Structure 1
Amino acid sequence: MRPSGGGAKIVLSTATLPHAYLKYFRCFEDENLIDLEGLDRGLSIELRDDVLNVEALNEEIECDKRNIVIVNTVRKAREIYKELKCERKAVVHSLMRRKDRLGTLGKVENGGVLIGTQTLEAGLDLDLDALYTELSPIDSLVQRLGRVGRRGPGKAVIYSVEKSTPYLKTLTERTKQVLGADPSALNSWKFVKESVEKVYSDEVVKEIAEKGERMYAEALAYLSELSLFSYPPSREVLLRPSHYAILYIIEGPHRDEVTKTELLGGMVKISYRSYKKSRLKYLLDRIDKIYIVDKEKKDGELLVLKPVEGNRKEKLSKDRLRLDELVIFMEDLRGLYDEAGLAVEELGGEDGDVALGEPEEASKSKRRRSKKSRGR
């Protein structure tokens, strides 16, 4: 498709595009839609009413096979990794340093259990035998099923969930409905396409769009209150479902210089909605020294660090720029980081694995505060 008034062409590619989404692309034209047929598969697929837990996995999983376990939150991924009986196992999720994520897959190439979250849904070049997964929206579920049985037989067991986090409850409920009594129908590409349309109906997509529009409206209201030579409004505003901060967790003793390789290898991206209630705040409050990157040295490889001094808590709470990229050292984490990444179970604050938008009551509360602020 071609944006109105522009010369660039845009290509959107996905295996599971609901037609209801196309109504929101103003520059889309029907004749530009290329709809390719996918291949049918032969997986053994089972849908269970039970919730996935490590006790059931320990009874059923065959440790010598190539297994993958995909759950919906980091907390559960860590729990399963810690308590699973298999000796050969690895975990991958978003709250691990980049170098740790990249180095973990080799542990289970020839058998064992790979455990993770949505990070394992795509881009994984492994042919696995068995999938054990929590229920997720149909498009996410199709991606997860694609991890197994690529070059031979494979099986998948789909477990129910107690909470829909981080997905909209409507999407997981509708997915369970369309699977019904015959989840093996997911082997049929025709069934997948039909199910995507049923789950992402016009009403559901409208609900998702309205959540985005509310965030957009609140952001515009925030911007309209900004004025030259005055402090910005004190409330936090979201331009997307979460803010993001990048932590660089560096090994070794405290020092004033690190290499770019060290920095990139130690990168962790943390999402949060409200800094005051976030895991990020709880984590940083327990760190002795926090740094920012001040400048590069002439050779371009060494980076000079500058400590955040003065009233650190106040600076981090008020100065959004300082939350974008922070450098900390592993020795300060005191058991808050291990081979399975950040120990989220040891941190207070809200669960970073949040659904798109917010619960309705939270959203209404924010809008009321915004109106009061404008009234003053």
Structure 2
Amino acid sequence: NQNPGRSKRIFYLLPYTASINAMYKRLQRDFKYPELIGIQHGKAIYYLYQSFENEDYLTATEKAKQVKNLTDKIYRSYKIATPHQILKSMFGIRGFEQNLAEMSNALIIMDEIHAYDAHTTALILETLKILKGYQANFLIMSATLPSFLKEMFKQELGITTEISFTESELNEFTRHRVSVLKGSIFDNLELIQEEIDDNKKVLVVCNTVSQAQHIYELFSQEIENSALIHGKFILRDREEIEAKLKDLNLLVGTQAIEVSLDIDYDVLFSEPAPLDALIQRFGRVNRKGWEESLIKPVYVFEQGSENDKYIYKNRELVSKSLELLSKENILSESTVQKLVDEVYSNGYQGSDLASFEMVKENFPKFHSKIVPFINERENQEDFYKLYQSVEVVPIQYKLEYLEEIENKRYFEAMKYVVSISVGQYKKLINNNQIQIDSDTIFASIDYSSKLGLLLDSEEPLLGIFS
């Protein structure tokens, strides 16, 4: 924000709440004017409440509400948020007139743009094209952005300036030796155990929650200093797990470890995934190895689990990624971009391309129906379909949850909430495993503070134009 009057408002957009919380905390600590920094995402109010943990409940609640209310207004000129916070305006959600006014002539930073699926990428691109008409300026950032996406954003948004490292500068950050291992994770359990026995800090990444739970159960009985992390823990347990991630001998996780967790391990074992996802996983190992020219190993298994097809539908991207990595040894940082471009040489394909084109075709028609000071309920419903998740409370915590609600300790009650997919929710309804009490959904699912929700299926996510 280099303009003389510092009058432009800045929206720093990240894909994950963990990323947003970490960036907000960092800027609150380092920025000259911390009161100008705001945070916006679905659980921002809870995060703010937790930041006042040394206060009594009523004081912490009031302070959290006060901070959030000022952020929701125009008071704070720097906002760290998810893209959904700007997408709201395109759907005519109540207050969109103020939001559009605030984004007029703003600086919008899209970080980790590679993290979105084709459907969400199309929504973001169409939204930015509209905001360009409001004289907004854009900075698109990523460490692993396929060239086809980079060129698309440059062309559609009229971006002419590109900032990048030279090849020699990139290679100064080389720090991984990559190996593709035959078989699945179950064929290589002994190798994982050897690294643990050698006092290495070991990171294992699986593609599904159920697979991660299974692997964790196999190893954790003999390794006391270990943990499992994924998206199916209640907030209370997730917070406790994240607090101890730095000092573990073994961490087993899902894609949850790919972003914004401040961790550094000695060796990685990963199930197969598209190259850009694997690069993010590699980044959790030997994070500052370039300072001492250290190279550490990262292993990728040739085979995943049967349910991987729900997570990564385009199997060709996965197989192409493995084929290219199998030819590498020391993975130089300058090679990474070339490999990513080769994997995505054909751009979006199949269902990804269909989803992307559908949004591009329908979004302008949809947005043209938005009228100031008129909030259509149907538009609001369409927007919240983007989330494709349902918040539930495991039935074993029903009494604790309702007690907190009865005592009006609503933020304490939130600690018992976990999100599941719409598909999983419908399956639970069909199996009579859902109770609704006091407008809260309780799920009759086994839950463990160490393993999380014990669901036996993975469900794909769909978008509103699918």
- Indicate whether the TM-score tops 0.5: yes
Q: State the distance in 2 between where 1:356 and 1:21 align.
A: 21
Q: Could you tell me how far apart the structure 1 residues matched to 2:176 and 2:233 are?
A: 31
Distance 1:201 1:333 in 2: 46
Q: What is residue 189 of structure 1 aligned with on the other side?
A: 333
Contact 1:336 1:342 in 2 (8 A): yes
8 A contact 1:92–1:119 mirrored in 2: yes
**Structure 2: stretches of 5+ with no match in the other structure:** 1-107, 109-127, 368-377
- 1:144 match: 281
Kept in 2, the 8 Å contact 1:185–1:191? The answer is no
Question: Residues of 2 paired with 1:145 and 1:174: CA distance?
Answer: 18
Q: Distance in 2 between matches of 1:221 and 1:263?
A: 41
Does 2:184 match 1:51?
Answer: yes
State the partner residue of 1:300: none
Query: Are 1:200 and 2:200 counterparts?
Result: no
Question: Equivalences for 1:69-80 in 2 at 5 Å?
Answer: 69-80=204-215
Q: Could you say if the C-alpha distance between residues 5 and 43 of structure 1 is closer, same or farther in structure 2, counting changes exceeding 3 Å?
A: closer
Q: What is residue 13 of structure 2 aligned with on the other side?
A: none
1:197-236 mapped onto 2 (5 Å cutoff): 197-204=341-348, 208-214=352-358
Cα distance in 2 between the residues matched to 1:78 and 1:219: 39
CA contact (8 A) 2:390 2:421 kept: yes
In the alignment, residue 342 of structure 1 is paired with which amino acid? L
1:268 to 388, 398, 418: 418
How far, CA to CA, are the matches of 2:177 and 2:228 in structure 1? 24
The alpha carbon displacement at 1:356 in A equals 7.5
Q: For the Cα contact (< 8 Å) 1:128–1:148, is it kept in 2? A: yes
Counterpart-to-counterpart distance in 2, 1:287 and 1:207 = 32
Provide the rounded CA distance (Å) in 1 between the counterparts of 2:342 and 2:462: 19
Match of 1:321 in 2: none
Tell me the equivalent position of 1:9: 137
- Partner in structure 2 of residue 344 of structure 1: 455
Counterpart AA for 1:199: V
Q: Structure 2 CA distance, aligned partners of 1:289 and 1:239? A: 22
Selected match of 1:91 from 228, 252, 264: 228
Is 1:29 aligned to residue 137 of structure 2? no
Distance 1:282 1:209, change over 3 A: closer
User: Is 1:116 aligned with 2:253?
Assistant: yes
- 1:12 alignment partner AA: I
Q: Distance in 1 between matches of 2:461 and 2:340?
A: 19
Q: Give me the whole-angstrom Cα distance separating, in 2, the residues matched to 1:130 and 1:79.
A: 20
Deviations 1:100-125 (A, max 9, x none): 11211344533411111011011111
Q: How far apart are 1:335 and its partner, in Å?
A: 2.9
Q: Which amino acid aligns with 1:209?
A: L
Task: Give the secondary structure class of the aligned counterpart of 1:47.
Answer: strand
SS of structure 2 residue aligned to 1:15:
coil
Partners of 2:444 and 2:263 lie apart in 1 by 33
Indicate the residue corresponding to 2:111 in structure 1. Answer: none
- 2:318 corresponding residue in structure 1: 172
After superposition, give the CA deviation of every residue in 1:182-204 in whole Å (9 maximum; x if it has no partner).
Answer: 2x242x12210101111112344
Q: What is the identity percentage for the equivalent residue pairs of Structure 1 and Structure 2?
A: 23
2:297 equivalent to 1:161: no
1:94 shift after superposition: 0.9
In structure 2, what residue type is equivalent to 1:211?
A: S
Q: For residues 26-53 of structure 1, give each alpha carbon's deviation from its aligned partner in whole angstroms, at most 9, with x where no partner exists.
A: 5433522222353432323211122112
- Using the TM superposition, give the Cα deviation of residue 259 of structure 1 relative to its aligned residue in structure 2, in angstroms: 2.2
Say if 2:211 is the partner of 1:81: no
* Pair 1:222–1:27, CA change in 2 (3 A): closer
Pair 1:221–1:42, CA change in 2 (3 A): closer
Deviation at 1:20, TM superposition (A): 0.8
Cα deviations by residue, 1:217-238 (Å, 9 ceiling, x for unpaired): 7999999xxxxxxxx9xxxx99
Deviation at 1:88, TM superposition (A): 1.8
| Alpha-carbon separation, structure 2, partners of 1:41 and 1:175 | 19
Larger helix percent = 2
Give distance in 2, aligned partners of 1:261 and 1:246.
14
- The change in CA–CA distance for 1:31 and 1:238 in structure 2 (over 3 A counts) is closer
The answer (yes or no) to whether the contact 2:179–2:325 under 8 Å persists in 1 is no
Partners of 1:28 and 1:47 in 2: CA distance: 39
User: Which of 276, 280, 283 is 2:425 aligned to?
Assistant: 280
Asked if the contact 1:215/1:238 (under 8 Å) is kept, the reply is no
Residue deviations 1:138-183 (CA, integer Å, cap 9, x gap): 111111111011244432111122454311212111111222332x
* Aligned-partner residue type, residue 149 of structure 2: Y
- Structure 2 contact 178–325 (Cα < 8 Å) conserved: no
Q: 1:241 to 1:104 in 2, by over 3 A?
A: same
1:97 touches 1:268 (CA, 8 Å); kept in 2? yes
* Partner SS for 1:181: coil
2:445 and 2:160 mapped to 1: Cα distance?
A: 58
For 2:434 and 2:337, the matched residues in 1 are separated by 52
Give the Cα separation in 2 of the matches to 1:144 and 1:94.
16
1:301-360 Cα deviation digits (max 9, x unpaired) = xxxxx24xxxxxxxxxxxxxxxxxx443xxx74634442110013xxxx522x3778xxx
- Alignment match of 2:435 (pick from 281, 289, 294): 289
Superposed CA RMSD in Å reads 3.6
Q: Which amino acid aligns with 2:142?
A: T
SS of the residue 2:419 aligns to = strand
In 2 relative to 1, CA 211–69 (structure 1 residues): closer, same or farther, beyond 3 Å?
same
What's the TM-score, normalizing by structure 1? 0.68
3-12 or 136-145, larger mean C-alpha shift: 3-12
